[in-house]
Chains A and B, each alone.
Chain A
Amino acid sequence: MTSRRIALAAAVVAVVTGCATVPQKDYTKFVAAQPRSILVVPVMNKSVSLTASDYFLSTIPIPLAERGYYVFPVNLVKRLLEDEGLNDPGLVHSADPMRLASTFGADAVLYITIEQWDAKYILVQTNVTVAFSYVLKDGKTGTVLWEDHQKMVYASGDGGGGLLGAIISAAVTRAAPDYMPLARKANAQAMVYPGPGFPAGPYRPDEYRKDVQLPQQDASGAPTKQPASL
């Protein structure tokens, strides 16, 4: 190994750790489908919070559109679905993705489920936890093009100010724990690329269709063997 290679490897390692873990996914289907537009349907909520679904929906369009895709207006879409009698996001999630996509003219449909959105209080410490699953389905075939899962935990109460300071900060957090920064962080991690997220869409023309490394194909067209850990 030349020193140049070592330097490159070290740089890559440093960058990778800086961006948290970067699991390698197979983007073959995603690239083949070439989605330009993404329909974000109302968020399904499996948490104990009654309001998390709408709150979380408000955090999705910006990071997704910034990846270079057309993102359908989430509030308009939600209201239209409600007018159609699909008030419960569970009904939308169980509906036929191809029919949904053709109704709205979308290339792909993004389904998000809140698995956890809660705060636990242990003495003077507050643990806020959010966990989400993200699934993107192709509008033409209904197949899963991409999926991800994120869990974020925030622990308060270990700050300075002695016991009194800790009690005060816990009380403030207990009154209104703020989930939104954690939710935004989860989205950022889920959508970043290079990383587990969305390769650049058509509105990032400099990177579009240039940033994805697909598995090498051998002469027969079959993917070459990948390490099992990937």
Chain B
Amino acid sequence: MRGRVVVGAAVAAAVSACVPQTRYHWGQYDSALYQHYKNPQDREAYVEALKTTILEAEQLGMKVPPGICAEYGYALFEEGQAAQSLPWFQREKETWPESTVLMDKMIRNAQRRGTQPPPPATGPAGAVESRS
């Protein structure tokens, strides 16, 4: 009987590995990114999807998935809203300590940009700080 239990557990574990169960709430993130790459003009829908994913994850009481707060912050940064991007980079860093090196760079970039007039909307996206 004990053997059966083991077999049953093994099958259940293997089946659950076959049927993906998501650990995070992703919302429309991947399809919105795909659409954004397909039609780069259609940027608003992508940014909106990032924001919605964050809000929905919060409502569900779940951790916002890796990268989403950083992508949202970067979208704001690209739109010239450097000051508004800061808390999102900060939040990515606090939620996911693995992002610390990159987020510290983004925070420094945003702080530097925040003290300057915003770039023209069509200008190059915020350059990463030059490596020393």
Main secondary structure of the interface of A (DSSP, over half): helix
A12 within 8 A of B: yes
Decide yes or no: A36 and B98 within 8 Å by CB, A18-B15, A61-B30, A73-B71 being known contacts.
Answer: yes
Main secondary structure of the interface of B (DSSP, over half): helix
Task: From B17-25, B54-62, B114-122, give the one contacting chain A.
Answer: B17-25
| Per-residue B-contact encoding for A1-44, CB less than 8 Å = 1, 0 else | 00010011001101100110000000000000000110000000
- Interchain CB contact (< 8 A) of A55 among B11, B14, B34: B34
Do A71 and B15 touch across chains, with their CB atoms under 8 A apart? no
Q: Closest A-chain residue to B103, C-beta based?
A: A105
Q: Closest B-chain residue to A64, C-beta based?
A: B66
Bound-complex Cα distance A68 to B98 (A) = 12
List A contacts of B71 (CB < 8 A).
73, 75-76
Do A66 and B7 touch across chains, with their CB atoms under 8 A apart? no
Nearest Cβ on chain B to A194's Cβ, whole angstroms = 6
Q: What is the count of residue pairs linking A and B with beta-carbon distances less than 8 angstroms?
A: 126
List A contacts of B23 (CB < 8 A).
65-66, 68, 203-204
- Contacting residues of chain A (72-103) with chain B, CB-CB under 8 angstroms: 72-76, 79-80, 82-84, 103
Nearest Cβ on chain A to B32's Cβ, whole angstroms = 9
Do B30 and A72 touch across chains, with their CB atoms under 8 A apart? no
Nearest Cβ on chain B to A16's Cβ, whole angstroms = 8
List B contacts of A62 (CB < 8 A).
22, 26, 29-30, 65
Q: Closest B-chain residue to A68, C-beta based?
A: B23
Q: Closest A-chain residue to B68, C-beta based?
A: A73
- Interchain CB contact (< 8 A) of A180 among B29, B34, B98: B34
Nearest Cβ on chain A to B93's Cβ, whole angstroms = 11
| Per-residue A-contact encoding for B63-82, CB less than 8 Å = 1, 0 else | 00111101100100010000
Do B17 and A195 touch across chains, with their CB atoms under 8 A apart? yes
Interface CB pairs A-B, < 8 A, 24: A4-B3, A7-B4, A8-B6, A12-B10, A14-B11, A15-B11, A19-B17, A37-B99, A51-B38, A58-B33, A59-B30, A61-B67, A66-B20, A70-B98, A71-B66, A71-B67, A72-B67, A72-B102, A73-B68, A73-B70, A75-B33, A76-B74, A76-B106, A203-B23
4 nearest A-B residue pairs (beta carbon): A105-B101, A73-B67, A37-B98, A70-B98
4 extra interchain contacts, Cβ-Cβ under 8 A, other than A84-B128, A192-B18? A19-B17, A61-B30, A65-B24, A105-B98
